[in-house]
Chain A
Amino acid sequence: GQNIDQPTEMTATEGAIVQINCTYQTSGFNGLFWYQQHAGEAPTFLSYNVLDGLEEKGRFSSFLSRSKGYSYLLLKELQMKDSASYLCAVSHHIFFNKFYFGSGTKLNVKP
């Protein structure tokens, strides 16, 4: 089976740094992907990790530890527009054609 856990909701202050965690237990693993979803909109791709370590893309970074079944998304210099849900998704298959999503973490950025 698949079990992907994320915190339900987090609050952070504009300009700060926030870390959103994702833990997973899956019968197969071939990559972990992060998506951003603003309320009432479609998810959009942010970052991915296939190997252990940190991947940096501007204000966003994602980390993966396959041995621990753990990933996090790091958002720096928070802006009000970062208020959204952040979805963690595990690719189940080597051909990246089947994904399991966590329930998402709603991030509230306050002034």
Chain B
Amino acid sequence: NAGVTQTPKFRVLKTGQSMTLLCAQDMNHEYMYWYRQDPGMGLRLIHYSVGEGTTAKGEVPDGYNVSRLKKQNFLLGLESAAPSQTSVYFCASSYASGTGASQAGTQHFGDGTRLSIL
């Protein structure tokens, strides 16, 4: 049981390049999230999804797009990378609210993707 798997683990991009970060979960979770973590700023929500085919904006969505074509996968895209997007990106997943506060609120995180943009 792998849990939440993020690909790639590290990447260096040049300004203006595009890339896609992949998140896959094998726990049959309905909810999935993308966060970025910068020094001194904690985790900030970029986009999230409450189910297959649905996405919504979080705190800091500008410059990013997402897609959830399959329940187990949540993709984060950078169309034109900027140095301000240098960060550690975490994907997380959780059960839906109908399963109770503990289950729905307990997010399972991937190991993160360390992205540097030059």
Contacts and interface: CB of A to CB of B under 8 A. Distances in A.
Interface of A: 2, 8, 31, 33, 35, 41-45, 48, 50, 87, 89, 91, 94-104
Contacts of B102: 48
B12 interface: no
Given A96-B104, A101-B43, A41 B94 contact: no
Please indicate which of the listed interface residues B35, B48, B109 has the most CB atoms of chain A within 10 Å of its own CB: B109
B48 A98 contact: yes
Contact of B42 (A50, A95, A98, A102): A102
Interface in B87-116: 90, 94, 96-97, 101-102, 104-112
A95 B96 contact: yes
Contact of A99 (B41, B45, B56, B97): B45
Interface residues of B, number: 29
A32 to B, nearest CB: 9
Interface of B: 31, 33, 35, 40-45, 48, 50, 56, 58-59, 90, 94, 96-97, 101-102, 104-112
B101 A96 contact: yes
Contacts of B59: 2, 100
Given A97-B48, A98-B48, A50 B111 contact: no
Nearest to B33: A99
Contact of A97 (B31, B41, B44, B108): B31
